[in-house]
Each structure stands twice: as C-alpha cells, then as structure tokens.
Amino acid sequence: MDNVRILIIEDSLTQALRLQDSLEKHQYETQIANNGKTGLDLLKQKHFTLVISDIIMPEMDGYELCRQIKSDNRLKDVPVILLTSLSDPHDVIEALECGADNFVTKPYNEKFLVSRIQNILINRELRLSGMSEMGIEIVFAGKNILLHPVVCKLWISYFQHMKMPFRKTRSWSRSTGNW
C-alpha cells in the first residue's frame, strides 16, 4: 500500500493540522480541504486513497459529501471515514446509511484511527483483488472441496449456535447439581 493519499476535510484548521500531523507520522500523504464542497472538487481532480471528513461543516456537510462520493462511479470505491464530535446512535446510523465506511468520534485515539485506516485499506485491497471471495479448501472423503466464503460463514454461524444451548444446558446442570 505505497503512496496512500488521504484527503482530510475539516473546517477547523487546528483540528485539520493536528490530524495531518498524526497521519504524516505514519507515512501517509495528506491534503486538507476546509469544507465538503471544496473536498469533493479536490477529490474529482486528484486521486486520493481515502477520505477523512468531519460532519458538521459549512457549504456541504459530511453526510452529503459521503452521498456524493458514493453516488459517483469514479469515486464510489474511495473509502470514507467520518470523524466527528457527534456520537448519538442516530448520527452513526445516518453515517452508515449515506455510505461511510467507518465512524470515529472526537476526541479520537490516534492509534485507534490509524488502525481503522489500515483495516479499511487492507479490506479494500482484498476486495479489489478478488481475494475476499476466496474460500476454504477442505478434504472430505478423499476429495478436495472449495467452500465459498458465504458457505463458510453459514457453517460457522451454525456451529456457534449449536454450541450455545449445549453450553447453557451444561452450565445449568452444574449449577443445579443435575449432572
């Protein structure tokens, strides 16, 4: 993941510079826009790997910015992290509904934010390379079988749910002495 370019969209210059400093310590290239409209224009002109945006800004808020990015065929694959002082569950839901890839509240922990960025970039790489569709190969009755990821998830879910009643019953039996 060489040359990761992050567009920071933040109307508070102090917060934008603090975020820029944090990201550049981790070898990310950054550029700052002071509102959603300017940020969207920059995004259309230059290539950015990821966008980190505030929500409450003049001219275009972070929700609308995210909607615009995700509805543009040229930009829709650019991950968006909304970084905001808003923390109500309604705000998180709205962020996800407008297509945000992640939601981080201020004040943020630098390590947490960087881990979110890394996770998003790794998942994006896997998705774009098609590796996220790889399954698991098993040997059953002497035959190699490739299980699709959806099938793997279903089996995992099935086994997790099968264990639950057994564990609860066993715990209940121990507590009542009915072993």
Chain-wide mean pLDDT for the chain? Answer: 82
pLDDT given at position 2: 65
Cα 18 from Cα 24, distance rounded (Å): 10
Cα 6 from Cα 70, distance rounded (Å): 17
- Residue ranges per structural domain of the chain: 5-131, 136-176
Fold of 5-131: Rossmann fold (3.40.50)
pTM of the model: 0.71
* CA distances from residue 97 to 67, 87, 155 in whole angstroms, order as listed: 9, 15, 29
Q: 160 or 83: whose pLDDT is higher?
A: 83
Range 60-74 average pLDDT: 96
Q: Concatenated DSSP letters for 120-156?
A: HHHHHHHHHHTGGG--EEEEETTEEEEEPHHHHHHHH
Range 166-177 average pLDDT: 48
Q: Is the pLDDT of residue 170 over 90?
A: no
Q: Is the pLDDT of residue 118 over 70?
A: yes
Q: What is the pLDDT of residues 13-48, one digit of tens each?
A: 999 999 999 999 999 999 999 999 999 999 999 999
